[in-house]
Amino acid sequence: MASSSIVLSSLQSQTSPLHKTTEGSTIKSKTLPMRRHIARPISASVSEKPSILPPQQPSSNQQNKLPIREIPGDYGPPLIGAFNDRTDFWYNQPGEEFFKSRIQKYQSTVFRTNMPPGPFMSPDSKVIALLDAKSFPILFDVSKVEKRDLFTGTYMPSTNLTGGYRVLSYLDPSEPNHAKLKKLLFYLLSSRRDYVIPEFSASYNNMFDMMESEISSNGKVGFGDPNDQAAFNFLGKAFLGVNPGDTKLGSEGPGIITIWVFFQLHPLLSLGLPKIIEDIFLHSFQLPSFLIKGSYNKLFEFFNENSSDLQNEAEKLGLKKEEAVHNILFATCFNTFGGMKIFFPSVIKNVGQAGVNLHTKLAEEIRGVVKSNGGKLTMMSMEQMPLMKSTVYEALRIEPPVASQYARAKKDIVIDSHDGAFEVKKGEMMYGYQPLATKDPKIFVQPEEFVPDRFVGAEGEKLLNNLFWSNGPETENPTVDNKQCAGKDFVVLVSRLLLVQLFLRYDTFEIELETSALGSSVNVTSLKKASF
């Protein structure tokens, strides 16, 4: 649940050709080399010295002597420049290649460019790209930047897709309803906190039962569809106390949400269709909202009929009940469900590829802590699982579910990168591509590698200040005055629960990856039941 888009950038990263395997190929975890972690023993205690040492940071004197540089790059001729950059972004230099080629060209991680979708959907596609861990955090500083209507970047979907309201994700903290709506989400999370662990366990154990049966019959099972249904059922029961399957909505929820999100994000997606078709129908004009209205109303009715307590709380905060329901729906379906839909397969992929050595260590740690706590799983007991916690953080670092961040300068400001300082004028838009910030080689050793124990130990935990997935550093907390994800801790919690439930049941598992129109899909080919 986020005041910044989890699903947006997750879908962007999922559609980026950079993340695809060679067409037609599959990757099985048991055949992959163990180079990701085998050379470094995984620490089991936060008191132990970490196996990953942070790189040297520049001294304060060095930081204060950065030369002022002119921001390199340009936007090209009106319309043509934006169109050319969009073509490069999707087709000529897809994914991170678009940014890395310009970093190389300008010898700078800060430069001017256009960001999609451009003509004829973006009123202004000009941005200043910030592509390192030092410049990136300015995007969170709401004393210097504004976040109004920048949730999806250089364009904004029609409010007809959200009941006619600008929902929380599009509001700047300076707007009165921002604090009210964020307080409502804080209330939702705090009032239902006791239901999270039991409902997650129930929903995902049911999912694993089904997956075992499918593997037994067919030799493999896709992780995506079962995860979608389990995630939505879990959120319905945890947040609203209702199993969606027992209502008129039935099992339709995940499918409706996927199409509804597509209508909002299609300008930022590539489906692998012929270039001219995609460019005209996905990237140039918004799809008409009336096509999805009936399906959206089914979702709205489900939330409206099962959120009376939340609606009453909204009235106390000075909000309209209808507006509150649209916001609860958006936070649950777009932000939270979207995050689980995209990030959970990423966790399964990265942990699956890491292999049996990591699996054994996770199983030993998780089962040992649960046993020492009388067989009970609690939020407090999960804090005693440093490797498990680090593994989740590393998955967030290597493939952050929020890939893109935007902000507009409230005043003239100076932004520092590692190599220079740059003057940004009031009103200019800034853009950060988060995977480059969280894989900054001047911050992280072996930045492109999935290193499960990276954040273990005192030195490892210091690196959390450079983990930005939640629209702010992991070391900071969401408040009504900032734009950090309202459900930051909730997302971390359920991601931890996924690993805990997995390794309470299984010693190890195997996967294969297949290419799809939306990137990589994860198939589970083996689940070895717990033997100790």
Give the annotated binding-site residues for heme: 485
The Cα 244–Cα 150 span in angstroms is 32
Query: What is the C-alpha separation between 451 and 394, in angstroms, rounded?
Result: 7
CA 178-181-187 angle, to 5 degrees, is 135
Cβ partners under 8 Å of residue 25, min gap 6: 515
CA nearest neighbour of 155 among 8, 19, 291, 292: 8
Q: Are 148 and 3 in contact (CB under 8 A)?
A: no
Cα(159)–Cα(156) distance, integer angstroms: 8
Walk across the sheet containing 68-69 and list its strands. Answer: 68-69, 421-424, 413-416
Residue 448: exposure state from Cβ atoms within 10 A (0-12, 13-18, ≥19): exposed
Torsion, Cα 98 268 332 151, to 10 degrees, reads 80
309 by Cβ neighbours in 10 Å (0-12 / 13-18 / 19+) ranks as middle
- Alpha carbons 398 and 163: distance in angstroms, whole number: 35
Q: Encode 295-314 in three state secondary structure.
A: HHHHHHHHHHHCCHHHHHHH
C-alpha–C-alpha distance, residues 251 and 206, integer Å: 15
Beta bridge mates, 510: 526
423 - beta bridge partners?
414
Reduced to 3 states (helix: H, G, I; strand: E, B; else coil), residue 261 is helix
Binding residues: 485
CA distances to 21, 111, 438, 519 from 16, in Å: 11, 21, 17, 7
Q: Hey, which bits of 301-448 come out as E strands?
A: 404-409, 413-416, 421-424, 429-433
Q: Which two tokens stand for residue 62?
A: 């060095």
